[in-house]
Structures are given as structure tokens and as C-alpha cells.
Structure 1
Amino acid sequence: MQVGMAVRALNDDPHCGDVCRYWRQGHTMTLCIADGLGHGLYAERAAQAAVDYVGRHLTAPLEDIFAGCDQALHRTRGVAMGLAIVDEAAEALSYAGIGNPRAIVVGKRIFRLRNDYGVVGSGYRALSTETVSFRPGDLVILATDGVAETVDVSAYSLAERSNVQDLANRILRDWRRETDDAAVLVGRREGGHRGSVV
């Protein structure tokens, strides 16, 4: 699986409150995006604490990762967070999110995955998980709310989607909101139809 990431701080501040990371373990890939509340150093610290926690608990179920992260971030500003786990052997992607990250799966159809209300670090009422098919060639796009919710992935040609780093850069350039930090993470399973939409 190939991954590309693009991040931009508000006003090019040296501290960015939006962070993305990914980890591979065997046939499983974990993708995470975290948006620390507000901007600047303390938002960055909260987001970094979130991805650090995820990185130390990769084998736990999604529900346990979010619950543990919520406890670990109590003394921070807290974050909005989206977490996707790709099981390449099962050709499946499982996702959960708290707050307002964007999560899109692009294959033969486009799926926009849902999030639950709350803030990781100050509590949430429920966590819903979704599992969708994720076959060779499919794309997953995670973004913070510094990127418009109305990203039109179908506007990008197959050639433009073939390089995940270029696609992450293009989405950030084309859909970034100028009033916030922003981060985009794009993952694509190698082979297949390269995320073609019918």
C-alpha cells in the first residue's frame, strides 16, 4: 500500500495542530489523522500525543484505541481524530472517527464515512465503526476540517490519482480552507483499477 501526506499550518506557523501518521504491521496498515483544537503549539502537542498513543497500541481494537487515547489526552486541548485500519488479506477497511475529520473511500463507488460527536481528550458519547470493501487500486482519503467537506474526488483523473503524494498535494492545494491548519493523508492499495469510479 502506498501513502502520501500533505500538511499546512495556518499562516505558515512553525507549529501545526493537524498531524497524520501511518504504520504497517504485516498485511495490516493503520492510518491516522488528528486535529488538535485551535492552532499553534498546544494544538500541535495534543495532536502529536494522539498519534503517539495510536502508534503504541496498534494491535488494540478501534474502540479501545479511542477510549485509551481519550484518557491519555485529558490534560491536553483534545483532538478530532479519524482512524482507518486496512486489512489487505481481507480486502477490508475499518474506520472510526470522533469530531469532524473527513474520510472518503474511492473504488467503484465513493463512500464518505461517518464520525461521531465529541472530542478525544474530553469525552464522547459513542463510537461507531464502519467496515467497507477495500480492494487493490482503491483509495482512502483522510483529511482534517482544514480541508473542505465537499472535496470532489471524481474531478481528478486516473492519472492524477496514480501518485498518492501528488494527489495529497493537489487536494490540499485545491480544497484547503485558508482559515485553519490542514492535513491530508491518501492511501492506495497497489494494483487493480487505481480507484476508478463508475
Structure 2
Amino acid sequence: MREDGFIGRIEWAVAGRALPGQRVSGDRGVVLDAGGDSVLFAVLDGLGHGAPAADAADRAAQVLADNRAEPLDVLMVLCHRAMADTRGAAVSLALFEAGDTVRWLGVGNVESRVLTLGPGGLTVRATVLLTAGIVGYRLPQNLQPQTIPVRPGDLLLMATDGIVPESADGIDLSRSTAEITAEILARHAKDTDDALVLAARHRGGTATPP
């Protein structure tokens, strides 16, 4: 599964695949126009794999689509309620806001980080603080979104645990987000799990390319 596009000033792409031998994946990437020049991104990793994992992730994806304007902590609670009779999922949410900031919140083991290009090369500007738990089964009591500044060219990467973590040095920011996600999936997807990676880049300005 591969998708890519632009929403306003944000270029994005998602690449994923099911565990070899399975017809469906329990990993989902969600991209939503949240209004007011904001874009909501989510990566959902249904517990396990196959149809039960996909059902959990699909329920959370629908909740996000129906309630995209809600605060991140509220969205996490709504996902938790919707998945109460499923296996549950790891969920990471990231909201690109109009004021050149990203707000994010994660429960479970979906890794999220922002990469930036500085004088010394590519570095990790920030990594989401993940909270232990399973959305739909055991939600942490204190859900506290973090806010970080971003600038044009910064890259948000979100990946399920079916992707082997890669150092920042292995990523070429001159390539499109579609190329970046495709390469990460091809090089770093595990053979023992579903795998999905989402990339979003702050392009500056407000116009969507034709």
C-alpha cells in the first residue's frame, strides 16, 4: 500500500505492507485535513496481525476521520472507546498546526520523530515521548500532548514496530516523501510483522502544488 500527496504546505506519503503470507495488514496510516491550515497524521498498529488487527485499526481510523477537529487527548480517548471490544492498537497522533508547530501524542510502540537539516548535517530535532499502554485495552491516565517547533524542510517520520529503526544519516531529505517512505519500507521492513511508515514534510507557504 502506497499513498502520497499534498495538503496545503504539507507534503506527505505512506508506504506499508502486510506480514508476508497475510492478506490484510493491521497497520494504518491516516492523513486528514483538520481545517484551519492544520493537518492530522496518525499511525495505528493493531495488536498482532491479520483481520482482527485490521478491524481494531480501522475502527480507530474511522473515529479520527469523524472527529478530526478534536484535541489529541480527546481523540485518543475516543479511539480507546471504539476499540474496547477489539485487540486494541498502538496509536501515535501528530498535528501540523498553522503556527509552524507539531503537537503529538503516542500510546504504545509507534515511533515518531522530526528530522531537521542543520550545519552539521541531518539530525533528530525531537522524538515523541511514548506512553506505555494499549489503546482499547489499557489507556494511561495522563495523556499529555507535546508541542515542538518545526520549520520548512523538517521531516516527520512515524513508523510501526514492523520497521527496523534507521539512523538519521540513512535518510536523504532531497528526495520526495514518497521516495523516502518507499525506500524505508523496502530496506527496513521486518519479515515477522506488518510494516508501515509515514512521512510528512513542512514545505513552507500555503499553496498546494498543481
TM-score (norm 2): 0.85
Deviation at 1:191? 4.5
What's the CA shift for 1:12?
Answer: 4.7
Quote how far apart the aligned CAs of 1:79 are.
0.5
CA separation in 2, counterparts of 1:168 and 1:175?
10
Moved >6 Å (runs of 4+): none
- 1:31 is matched with which residue? 41
| Matching residue within 83, 93, 99 for 2:102 | 93
Q: Deviations over 1:62-108 (max 9, x none)?
A: 11111111111101111001000001x21000110100001010124
1:118 aligns with 2:128: no
Is 1:147–1:182's contact at 8 Å kept on the other side of the alignment? yes
- Structure 2: any 5+ residue segments left out of the alignment? 1-9, 206-210
Q: Is the 8 A contact 1:116 1:128 kept in 2?
A: no
Q: Kindly provide the CA deviation profile for residues 102-146 of structure 1, in whole angstroms up to 9, marking residues without a partner as x.
A: 101012441221110111101222323211111111110111110
Q: Deviations over 1:129-170 (max 9, x none)?
A: 21111111111011111012x3112222332xx300110011
CA RMSD of aligned residues (A): 1.4
Give the aligned partner of residue 157 of structure 2: 141
Distance in 1 (alpha carbons) for counterparts of 2:184 and 2:157:
10
| Inter-partner Cα distance in structure 1 for 2:172 and 2:158 | 19
TM-score by length of 1: 0.90
> In the aligned structure 2, how far is the partner of 1:136 from the partner of 1:127?
28
Q: Which structure dedicates a bigger proportion of its chain to helix?
A: 1
Number of residue equivalences: 188
SS at 1:158's partner residue?
Answer: coil
1:195 aligns to what? none
CA distance in 2, matches of 1:12, 1:137: 38
Equivalent of 2:170, from 151, 155, 172?
Answer: 155
Cα distance in 2 for residues equivalent to 1:114 and 1:5: 22
Shift in Å, 1:59: 1.1
Q: Which runs of 5+ in 1 are unaligned?
A: 193-198
